[in-house]
Structures are given as structure tokens and as C-alpha cells.
Amino acid sequence: MKKIFFAFTLILWNIFLFAQKEYLPTPEDLAHFYDTRTYVVLEASPMSDYNFEVKEVMDRVWNITDFEFIKQEEFPEKSKDPNASFIYTSLVNFEHDKTDSRYVFLHLSLGGDNISIDDLRDLVSVPLGYVGVDSENYIYKLGILLQFMQKHLKLITENPGIISKNIFKHYNDNIQSAQDKVVYFVEDELSREIGTAARIKQVYPYKFSIVSRDDIRQAIINKDENVVFLHKVGPEGKKLKARCYKILIGAGDSNFYYFDYHMISDKKPDGFLESDLKKLAK
């Protein structure tokens, strides 16, 4: 997979959701992470929505390491520090993906002696948005994703045996837990086949609500333990073929309850599918 970060081009192969395939976090690296100082790399534009949001949420949500903000031009040199970790965004496209689609990923990575940005060791990476889509559609979820990253690191630190296993399965095992909560969907993130409350009820017999993005933002602010919401990453009309990521996240506990993605096609549009809903209903 290619990661294009600011003015730098980084080529990394076979990155999945939580780690590069060629690098799996070791117990030693995980233990060391908690002793690092985390540098939050700001984007170049002074008007970046990401910069405003990350400055607002870090004090509120980040509690496992000391941190400070740095400018992008400081990143290459800082990346060589073995006692540093980094939170940053990158533009990602997947090797051998003929659609040439690009996504915004959020990363937490370790620095190291005399390494370059190309060699940063990803501890956890999550899809944040799709390049070209209005960042207002997803940036308000940044705080909850940072909370998830911390919980994920604690999980794999305490349970190193799951690192080499299918991490998707671990989180998808939480599907049934979502049935005790209210699932929040934004209407334009649903496929047409389940685009109304009536159609959802035909497939999903548990509590749900079709809401606005402001409703989800408020549930996150209120840390509503009763709400699970859909985080959908797709091109939203910017491209006909691309990946569509679908993640259900607890607004109060920041847990992942469901993770999947599909390649967008005529039969599988850019949105949460009926097949996804059926999995939740099992």
C-alpha cells in the first residue's frame, strides 16, 4: 500500500487495519511505547479541520503518554527518535488497486534509531475518511477514534496472543453486544435497500435510529453508553469504484462492535448494506 504524507511518498506493503503485515507489534515494543513521548503531527494548512479538532480533543481524551504538537517539517527528524511515538494522518492508496482510490488514515506509530518516515512501525491505523470528501462528515469522530487506539493498545498489550490472529474477528465478536444498544445511522450512509426505517425493521429487530451527524457528535460528547454509531468511509459520489469501510463504534465506551469493508460496485453501493445489517441481527 502507498501512503502519501504531506510532501513525502511512503511505500508500505500490505497494510491492514491495525498493523503492517511485515511488522507486528512485539511485547517489547508495546511496553516501550508507554515510555515514549507522543508527537501529534499537524497538517500543513493552518485552516485544517484536523488541526483544530486534534488540538481540541487531545487534552480531553489522551491519557497513556505525554504528548506535544509538532509541525510537519519537524516530522522527518523526529521520526529517528527511538523514544518517540507519533499520531499523524496520511493519504493512502492500496498497491494493485486499479481504482487508484485514496483514503485518509489515522496512524499511531513508533520512531526508531536512524529510521526514516518510511520505516515507522504502525501500532494501530484506522480509516478516517476518503480523499475529496468534506472533512466535516468525519472529523468530529476523531476523539473517539483516538480513544479506541488507546484501548486497542491496552488490549494487545494485555493479550499479546491476539496480535498474530485475525484482529477483525476479535472485534466482530462484539456484534451481539450491539443488540443491547441503539444503533445510530445517518441516512446518506445507508444503501438504498435499507435506506428507510421501514426497510431496516424488516431485517433488524433491535433498537436503531436514523439521525443527523450532529446527533452522533452529541452522543460522543455525552459519552452515551447506550449508543453505537456507524463510521462509514467511502467516496460519497467522488468515485464509482473504491473501498467502503463500515465500523460500528460505541459512543460511550469507544469499542469497535463491527468492522468490514467491501469494494463498491453496482450490486454493492457506497453504504452500509443489507448483508451488514443481517450480520448484526444474528
- Mean pLDDT of the 68-78 span: 94
Do 10 and 116 touch, CB atoms closer than 8 A?
no
pLDDT category at 165 given cuts 50, 70, 90 is low
Residues 134 and 39 in one domain: yes
Q: Judge if 70 and 184 occupy the same domain.
A: no
Number of folded domains in the chain?
Answer: 2
Q: What pTM was computed for the model?
A: 0.89
Kindly state whether residues 122 and 223 are assigned to the same domain: no
* Residues 84 and 200 grouped into a single domain: no
Boundaries of domain holding 69:
2-162
Which of 162, 177, 192 marks a domain boundary?
162
Among 126, 144, 162, give the residue marking a domain's end: 162
Last residue of a domain, one of 106, 141, 162: 162
Please indicate, yes or no, whether residues 13 and 135 belong to a single structural domain of this protein.
yes
Query: In this structure, are 100 and 73 located in the same domain?
Result: yes
263 and 154, same structural domain?
no
C-alpha–C-alpha distance, residues 1 and 16, integer Å: 9
pLDDT band at 50 (very low <50, low <70, confident <90, very high): very high
Phi, psi angle pair for 42, to nearest 5°:
-80, 150
Does residue 12 carry a pLDDT above 70? no
| Position 5 pLDDT exceeds 70 | no
Q: Using a pLDDT cut of 70, give the percent of the chain over it.
A: 90
How far apart are the C-alpha atoms of 243 and 263, rounded to whole Å? 5
Determine the Cα–Cα distance for residues 67 and 156; give it in Å rounded to an integer: 21
Q: Is there a single domain that holds both residue 224 and residue 128?
A: no
